[in-house]
A and B are shown apart, each in its own frame.
Chain A
Amino acid sequence: MSINPHPTLPEFDYIKPKTIDEACKFLTEHKGEARPLLGGTDIFVRMRDGVWKDKYLVDVKHLDGMNDIKFDPATGLIIGSAVNMNRVIAFQAVKENYQVLAEAAYSCASYQLRTRATIVGNICNASPAGDTIGACLLLGGILNVQGVNGARREPLSSFFLGPGETGLKPGDIVSSIQFPVPPRGMQGKYIKHGRNNLSDLSIVGVTVVGTPDSGVLSGYRIRLALASVAPVPLVVDQVESILSGKAINEEIIAEAASVAMAACNPIDDVRGSARYRKLMVKNLSFKAITAVWDELRK
């Protein structure tokens, strides 16, 4: 691919449908040449680079409910697809109840990019490096999807199929993501390792979410998700079983961190080698689990 230092956007038509049904219909009729537009922070980069050549961008940000963010103590949190990351970070109920999501969103790019970037966009883009995806997976996120055949719910746990590949079909529009009420005492941590302290894409990202649970032997249910070290955002289930099976101590955490390292399958790229990534998964998993465990014991 040749690199043009100041590429302009290629030609396309901007479409602004009045209803979500109209948007779905347009996307279905123009399968393969139209794409829903949220913040565009990935779309515009890919189009300028000539990787995506869509004829139509279908703006869906103004559609019903897309701009709403609501928390109900009985049903949980719902974030409309067009709600930008700065709004999510600043939303009081997110700070109080889903702090790990705010932490992950805050690690994305810069303030001015987060004015455009969205959580749902981060998910639909399905980059293995997506910073907020680990938190959304571990918090039990479910996407509300509108398609030509009506509405459906897509749990994130089975949503990611490969880099950039998801369970979405042509014509599908994600209208929001929702999260259940978090269990009492939940703690979370996102550790992002980039080439600088802020704003870069992750070389390795580790999300850990833990809750007190008297139903398991250790008394805690702790789950871990990894970014940038597999073709899809990876939840390592074995970490949960190790940390629930017996009383947690440093040794058990080290064992869980080694299991996380063994479970991932990174590649060499411009940001880091596969070998380095593996080692950092072990180190950062140990650190993140320890941080969550320390909070849980307080």
Chain B
Amino acid sequence: MAFHKINVSVNGVMEEVVVPSNMTLMRMLRESLALTGTKNGCSAGECGACTVLINGEPVNSCMLLAVECDGAEITTVEGLAHDKQLDPIQEAIIQEGGVQCGFCTPGILISARALLDRNPDPSEDDIREALVGNLCRCTGYVRIVESVKAAARMLAVTS
């Protein structure tokens, strides 16, 4: 199997990684870069636990190859906080109790962050639609939706 040398920016840090053809971005993050915040739930694009941002857009990192990311900017859950300050969506999910077992949380945070970037004042329907690809098996959806609303309110105050 062929190997490829790629250059990617991960959470603002340039990384040079050698990846086999069949390595997904999820595996590269978890196994080559030890960024285990990105979770492997279903490996089929269904559960959203592996959601990361590529050039600002959320994707299931189990559904694309690492080699396809050459030159891309990737943000994982580890990259949401800046200067020891949590992102408002992280603050909000703690404040609203939107975390139970926590396995889906990294994907939820990324999807919610992407939603707030494209729509700073989402309705409840907008939030539910944006999170439809993020399954929470603890079924804590009400608090998760409340967390996104709270984050939108925090952003409105600070902006």
Contact with B along A183-220 (1 / 0, CB 8 A): 00000000000000011000000000000000000000
Check: A262 CB closer than 8 A to any chain B CB.
no
Q: Does B60 contact A (CB under 8 A)?
A: yes
Taking residues whose C-beta sits less than 8 angstroms from the other chain, chain A's interface range is 20 to 34
Residue A111 lies at the interface, judged by CB distance under 8 Å to chain B? yes
Q: In this assembly, does B90 line the interface, its C-beta being within 8 Å of a C-beta of chain A?
A: no
Whole-angstrom distance between the alpha carbons of A45 and B134 in the complex?
18
Q: Considering the complex, which residues of chain A in the window 134-182 have a beta carbon less than 8 Å from any beta carbon of chain B? A: none
B contact residues, total (Cβ < 8 Å): 35
- CB <8 Å contact, A112 and B21: no
Contact of B133 among A11, A57, A111 (CB under 8 A): A111
Name the contact of B132 in the complex, choosing from A12, A40, A111 (C-beta under 8 A): A111
In the complex, the number of residue pairs spanning A and B with C-beta atoms less than 8 Å apart equals 87
Q: Report whether over half of chain A's contact residues are helix, strand or loop; otherwise say mixed.
A: loop
Confirm or deny: B149 has a beta carbon within 8 angstroms of a beta carbon on chain A.
Answer: no
Q: Are B45 and A41 in contact (CB under 8 A)?
A: yes
A112→B2 CA distance, assembly (Å) = 28
Q: Which of the listed residues B45, B62, B67, B133 has the most CB atoms from chain A within 10 Å of its own CB?
A: B45
**Residues in chain A near residue B64, CB distance under 8 A:** 40, 116
Q: How far is the CA of A261 from the CA of B115 in the complex (A)?
A: 40
Given A11-B1, A48-B43, decide whether A113 and B22 contact each other with a Cβ distance below 8 A: no
A113 touches B45 (CB 8 A): yes
Q: Whole-angstrom distance between the alpha carbons of A10 and B63 in the complex?
A: 14
- Residue among B40, B59, B128, B130 with the highest chain A CB neighbour number at 10 A: B59
Taking Cβ atoms with an 8 Å cutoff, the residues of B that contact A are 1-2, 4, 20-24, 27, 40, 43-45, 48, 51, 54, 57-60, 62-65, 67-68, 111, 114-115, 128-130, 132-134
